[in-house]
């Protein structure tokens, strides 16, 4: 008999992304991105994190809150242009049977707060704001790191990045602490991989601002930055 158990969030993450557009496709790609893991009231006990301060990185198991599994056993990875199918278990696609994600994040700080208990400040997150987190585990370099590992069809995409033209007069509209992260996110090319129209205008909400841009070839140009509607 199948043994199943319902799981529930132990925390939620706070990030600068109010929608999934612009979120890095993998954890650790944009180390400049900082986020905060806020535990649910039942788990706001410093004892639950005792010893975690000795680790530099953590694993986070989380839920694709906006992805619904269609039942297909193959998916179209965005970085392959969206027109080649691969097995769902050979990809990091959000459209999977249990809709679970796994991220390796740098642990920057374990912070005590007055109203939310002990929180985790992390970098390199690939989640939208409010994403449910189901578990946190320490990253163990002696067993979790495999320098000899082979990257399969994803390996040739490792160095992919756009050039970004973000005029100073527009970049200065962002808080200084968010500027480097915004540029790094844009370098990763937030567009769906199958869209190559150089006249098309794109925009996404980042850190409370709407950033609008176009892409021609390998050059991304930001043309407008405005406060996001609340």
Instruction: For residue 147, give both structure tokens.
Output: 């320098």
- For the stretch 166-182, pLDDT in tens is 999 999 999 999 999 99
Q: CA nearest 176: which of 32, 31, 41?
A: 32
List, in sequence order, every beta strand (DSSP E) within the chain: 11-14, 34-39, 57-63, 74-75, 86-87, 100-112, 118-123, 132-138, 163-165, 202-206, 209-216, 219-227
Instruction: For residue 143, give both structure tokens.
Output: 């067993």
Indicate the pTM of the whole model.
0.90
- For the stretch 135-170, pLDDT in tens is 999 999 999 999 998 888 777 666 678 999 999 999
Query: Residues of the chain whose pLDDT is less than 50?
Result: none
Give the pLDDT confidence score for residue 194 in this predicted structure.
62
3-state helix, strand, coil in the chain (%, to 5): 20, 30, 50
Distance separating alpha carbons of residues 36 and 56, to the nearest angstrom: 15
Which domains occur in the chain, in start order? Answer: 11-64+99-144 (2.40.30.70), 159-227 (3.30.2310.20)
């Amino acid at each position: 008999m199948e043994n199943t158990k319902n799981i529930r969030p132990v925390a939620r993450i706070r990030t600068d992304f109010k929608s999934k557009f612009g979120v890095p496709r993998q954890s650790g790609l944009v180390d400049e991105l900082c986020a905060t893991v806020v535990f649910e009231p039942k788990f706001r006990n410093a004892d639950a994190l005792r010893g975690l301060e000795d680790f530099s990185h953590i694993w986070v198991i989380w839920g694709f809150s906006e992805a619904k599994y269609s039942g297909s056993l193959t998916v179209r990875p965005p970085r392959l242009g969206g027109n080649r199918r691969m097995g769902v278990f050979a990809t990091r696609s959000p459209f999977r049977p249990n809709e679970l994600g796994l991220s390796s994040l740098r642990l920057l700080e374990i912070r005590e707060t007055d109203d939310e208990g002990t929180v985790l400040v992390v970098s390199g997150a690939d989640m939208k704001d409010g994403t449910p987190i189901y578990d946190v585990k320490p990253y163990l370099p002696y067993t979790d790191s495999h320098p000899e590992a082979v990257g399969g069809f994803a390996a040739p995409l490792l160095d992919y990045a756009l050039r970004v033209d973000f005029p100073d007069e527009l970049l200065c509209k962002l808080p200084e602490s968010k500027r480097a992260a915004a540029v790094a996110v844009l370098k990763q090319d937030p567009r769906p991989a199958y869209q190559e129209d150089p006249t098309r205008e794109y925009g996404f909400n980042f850190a409370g601002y709407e950033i609008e841009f176009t892409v021609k070839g390998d050059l991304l140009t930001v043309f407008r930055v405005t406060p996001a509607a609340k």
